[in-house]
Amino acid sequence: MSDIIRLLPDHVANQIAAGEVVQRPASVVKELLENAIDAGATQISLIIKDAGKTLVQVIDDGKGMSMTDARMAFERHATSKITNANDLFDLHTKGFRGEALASVAAIAHVSLKTKREDDDLGTILEIEGSKVVNQEPVVTTKGTMISVRNLFYNVPARRKFLKSDNVELRNITDEFHRVAMAHPQVGLKFSSNDTELFNLPISNYRQRIVNIMGAKTNEKLVPVEEETELVKISGFVGKPEFARKTKGLQYFFVNDRFIKHNYLHHAVTSAFEGLLKEKNNPTYFLFLDVPKDSVDINIHPTKTEVKFDDEHSLYAIVRASVKHALGQFSINAIDFDKEPQYEVPYEYTKKNTSSPKIEVNPDFNPFSNTGSSSSSTSKSTPSYSKPAPQAWESLYAGLDDSSTLLDETEEVSMTTSMFEDEKVTRNIFQLQRKFIISTLKSGMLVIHQNRAHERVLYEQLLKHITVQRGTSQQLLFPLRLNLPVDEVSILTQLQEQLEQTGFIFKTLANNVVEIVGLPIQLKEKHVPEVLETIIRDSELDLPKESFSQSDRLAATMARGMAIRSGESMSQEAMENLVDELFACKESELTAQGKKVFINITGESLNLKFN
């Protein structure tokens, strides 16, 4: 029997490695940006076409490479970052395995143009599917420009599993944010389909966060500073009142490298205990500087998961630091200044106080002609004249005849009952401010008020989006929101459909969303939450076979606009909701398939007493 184990060809091995390193266009962006940072660049430009499927290009002004280095950079396990295994615990750079460029070149068309400052000519290198098709000298500027085109062109199965352009662009933006926040000393630009999304100048950490997230973010940040022998912590946490239901604005950086760490995340959330509303998540941008030999980064291909030597102590320090920062913020918010008008002068502090004296004439009669019948009346007491009896007694003339008043009352009552229809009230009431109970001949109906209203709004909004324009209520003062650029771009894509539901936008660009009109059912205080939910659901990109974009938008808005559990409802409001619910095409389920009401029969109640 012949041997069956053999070595794989290099291009096949590279494609297999690419499955771990390059999962989507955002993975390519991460590797190329980190290489530019390691090259000492001070200005980096990221250019994207079709969410990275057609083009990912990174241009930097770093140190560049020689002709030999340019060729060696695309070999497997070729790196300038480490020389032996001990270097893995003394890392000063981002990438170090030497797999990224080789993996990218195996599944895309790659073009590299690079030049060192002291060289007269640079090098251009073109690779297709791990094969070098061209390498020659070229005139270019200092630095490196690398272009990755047609990602997964030779692995169609991988390309088929990519998400929509909106989702992939969101992932690319997330990677850009992580690199940009960790390196404010580097200026970065980001363009997608010839539209500039970000132009971040060199700045400090706080300015970088504000430039990415919007100007209003500045007032929401609480600084965190702590330094111990184990770790130095710096950064910011969001004020509790600005917490969001999404988990997007949560960033941990260890030695200028973005990481995900559930244990440290729990430390931050526990520091916010008692300060956040239910289901809200804290916002934080925390930078941890630890000794390089106390952290192991080489445990995951993407290097976003790390291990620490002493996680328990780190947990306690992070929790205490965040809690201390929040405590200082709360103390500073209290006004300890005294109002000077309420202070007692020092010379009066030891004096006895006495009640004020009020002179009252007990014999004063306002209906007396002379003003007083007593000779002891004080001269300072004014005299009042009694009005003529006819002036006030005439107001009550005829009231002695009670029969006349009774007859008139009966006549009014008869007239009211003849011309007003008596409204028949149902036997309906609210339970725990969550359920609407209505009695039936066969038993009783228990309706979930939030889900019922959500179903009603869903069908109304879907009709407005697809058939007719929704009714809008004009705002006296425009509502202005500051959102990250990528979230504003999602709203821009949905603008036409949102306006069909009743939204009227005055401004929708950069970090600013200005609204002058709202759907008539939507309260102004719920607008940020509704828009946040719309953006979040759009990023999730539900399967198009099940829901159209109009369905998703209508369902999302209905969920945000529906009456909450815990809100009190009047008798009339409950009756109207029940009528509207059973006028819907589908009244039993919400748009997400959740049950709206249950019917409890008399027979089932009888069984409870057996």
Q: What is the CATH number of the domain that holds 284?
A: 3.30.230.10
Residue of higher predicted confidence among 30 and 76: 30
191 and 75 inside one domain: yes
Residue 395 is assigned to a structural domain of this protein? no
Phi, psi of 309 (to 5 degrees): -65, -45
pLDDT value, residue 375: 46
Q: Which of 268, 303, 330 is the last residue of a domain?
A: 330
Q: How confident is the model at residue 93 (pLDDT cuts 50, 70, 90)?
A: low
Residue 545: what pLDDT? Answer: 41
Inside any domain, residue 404: no
What element of type H or E holds 518? strand 512-519
The number of distinct structural domains making up the chain is 3
Report whether 253 contacts 259 (CB < 8 A): yes
Q: Are residues 70 and 156 in the same domain?
A: yes
Q: Residues 147, 218: one domain? A: no
pLDDT at position 539 over 90 = no
Residue 33 lies in a domain: yes
Residue 550 is encoded by which pair of tokens? 């109009």
**Residues near 57 by Cβ (< 8 Å), separated by ≥ 6?**
45, 46, 47, 48, 145, 146, 147, 148
Q: Give the three-state DSSP class for 333.
A: helix
Residue 196 sits in the same domain as residue 222: no
Radius of gyration of the chain (CA): 37
pTM over the 0.75 mark:
no
pLDDT greater than 70 at residue 393: no
Mean pLDDT computed over every residue of the chain: 80
360 is a domain residue: no
Q: 284 and 233 share a domain?
A: yes
Portion of the chain with pLDDT greater than 70, in percent? 78
- pLDDT the model gives residue 86: 58
Asked whether residue 428 is assigned to any structural domain, the reply reads no
Residue 215: strand, helix, or coil: helix
Please indicate, yes or no, if residue 405 is contained in any of the structural domains. no
Q: pLDDT per residue over 478-531, tens digit each?
A: 898 888 877 888 888 888 888 888 888 988 877 788 999 988 778 888 888 888
| CB count in 10 Å sphere of residue 20 | 13
Sign of the alpha-carbon torsion through 543, 174, 31, 192 = positive
Using CA atoms, how far residue 216 sits from 42, 49, 219, 242, 606, in Å, is: 27, 30, 6, 11, 60
Where is the domain boundary, 176, 202, 228? Answer: 202
Please write down the HEC assignment for all residues of 522-580: CCHHHHHHHHHHHHHHHHHCCCCCCCCHHHHHHHHHHHHHCCCCCCCCCHHHHHHHHHH
Q: Which of 307-311, 349-353, 381-385 has the lowest mean pLDDT?
A: 381-385
Claim to verify: residue 314 and residue 456 sit in the same structural domain: no
The pLDDT-based confidence of 558 (bands split at 50, 70, 90) is: confident
Same domain for 187 and 45, yes or no, is yes
Nearest partner of 592 among 448, 445, 436, judged by Cα: 448
What pLDDT is attached to residue 253? 92
Does 249 share its domain with 305?
yes
Report the C-alpha gap between 397 and 384 in whole angstroms. 25
Torsions phi, psi of 181, nearest 5?
-70, -35
Give the whole-angstrom CA distance, residue 302 versus residue 95.
9
Instruction: Please tell me whether residues 452 and 583 are part of one structural domain.
Output: yes
Q: Please give the Cα distance from 21 to 75 (Å, whole number).
A: 15
Cβ count within 10 A of residue 47 = 18
What letter would DSSP give residue 244? B
Q: Tell me, yes or no, whether 52 and 171 share the same domain.
A: yes
Amino acid found at 137:
P
Q: Residue 79 belongs to a domain with what CATH number? A: 3.30.565.10
Residues 32 and 149 in one domain: yes
Residue 583 reports pLDDT greater than 50? yes
pLDDT at 337 over 60: no
Residue 155 has pLDDT above 60, yes or no: yes
What average pLDDT does this structure show over 348-373? 69
The answer to whether 398 and 404 are in contact (CB under 8 A) is yes
Higher pLDDT among residues 577 and 77, named by residue: 577
Higher per-residue confidence, 393 vs 291: 291
Looking up residue 567, the CATH number of its domain turns out to be: 3.30.1370.100
Mean pLDDT of 10-20: 65
CB 268 within 8 A of CB 286: yes
**8 A C-beta contact, residue 479 and residue 524:** yes
- The CA distance from 403 to 95, in Å, is 102
HSE-up of residue 298 (Cα within 13 Å, Cβ side): 15
Which neighbouring-strand residues pair with 482?
512
Q: Which of 295, 330, 365 is the last residue of a domain?
A: 330
Ranges 89-93, 445-449, 556-560, most confident: 445-449
pLDDT at 41 over 90: yes
Say which amino acid occupies 350. K
Q: Where are the alpha helices (DSSP H) in 355-481?
A: 389-393, 402-419, 449-466
Any domain includes 524: yes
Residues 286 and 186 in one domain: no
State which residues form the domain around 264.
212-330
Asked if residue 347 is part of any domain, the answer here is no
Neighbour tally for 378: CB within 10 Å: 11
Tokens 């009352």 correspond to 409
